[in-house]
Amino acid sequence: MKTTPLREAFIEVLTLKGYSTRTLETYVSVVAQLARHYHRSPAQLSAEEVRAYLYHLHKTDRSTSTLNVVVSGLRCFYDEVLQRPEICDKRILPRPKQAVRRPQAYSVEEVHRLLEYGFTSPKCRVFFMTLYGAGLRLNEACHLKAEHLDVGRMLVRVERGKGCKDRYTILPQHLLEELRRYWRMYRPRYWLFPSSRDERKPITDRSVQLAFKRALRRAGLPCKGGPHTLRHSFATHLTEGRTPMHILKELMGHTSVSTTAGYLHISRQRMEHIQSPLDTMDWTAPPAL
């Protein structure tokens, strides 16, 4: 991709502010797409043109999360690089209201079925076992290294997770045994789960997503989302096992416990013990019709 002074200045700002590589690439792409839309430098665009571009994206049925990323990227660029606060105004770049979507989860039996019958590759099977067993985000699992496994304390160290935060999560005994078998079979040198094309690079999100879809079909399971549903399942199953909310918050790497509390709604045991007021009534004979 063509390098320009503005692009380099934006990369420098994002790097100095400590943004992750993935966020940096996404924000730079957001500004590049704006420039391609108008075939002009973003420095030459008016506030009305930037607003019109956002409206254009709304009309093309982009998801709310995608639109929010666009707004964040453009606000950062026009504020930090071009120092044009008028474009960062919420009247020019408003954030779309995001619907509250509850995460879906698979049952313990379904996860076992997926891991037992969904994969033909040992590498894929162990990857998804790691994703579920430690409750990792997809990008976190892709960037694991052998040194991140603290076998002595049975912990997994997550470096530069969401929000550039480090944390520890659990390393299940069964997962450790599977990882040792995997290690003896593949002997990865750089990343725990390297790309099949270049061992010096980690496995890609795209290849993981495709493998997950194929595994669901083999296991005969419904699609409830992408690989991230295994992280949701991890949190849900710990909630059902009465893991304290503040501990689950730390394992998941959430900033607020209110985010963690969202998993209560899909806790099967929590729902099973709630009685409807309809069932508290004294029913004798049905009324005559």
Q: Which of 84, 125, 143, 231 is catalytic?
A: 231
Q: Give 80's DSSP letter.
A: I
Q: Which of 113, 123, 162, 224 is catalytic?
A: 162
Q: Which of 113, 137, 145, 167 is catalytic?
A: 137
Q: Is 162 a catalytic residue?
A: yes
* Dihedral sign for Cα atoms in the order 74, 42, 7, 55: positive
Q: Is 150 helix (H, G, I), strand (E, B) or coil?
A: strand
Q: Where are the beta strands (DSSP E) in 48-95?
A: none
Q: Is 132 a catalytic residue?
A: no
* Alpha-carbon radius of gyration of the chain: 23
Q: Is 201 a catalytic residue?
A: no
Sheet holding 149-150, edge to edge: 149-150, 155-158, 167-170
Q: Is 263 a catalytic residue?
A: yes
Q: Where are the beta strands (DSSP E) in 84-224?
A: 149-150, 155-158, 167-170
In degrees, to the nearest 5, what angle opens at C-alpha 141 toward C-alphas 140 and 146? Answer: 105
Q: Which of 7, 237, 249, 254 is catalytic?
A: 254
Q: Is 137 a catalytic residue?
A: yes
Q: Which of 157, 167, 224, 228 is catalytic?
A: 228
Catalytic residues: 137, 162, 228, 231, 254, 263
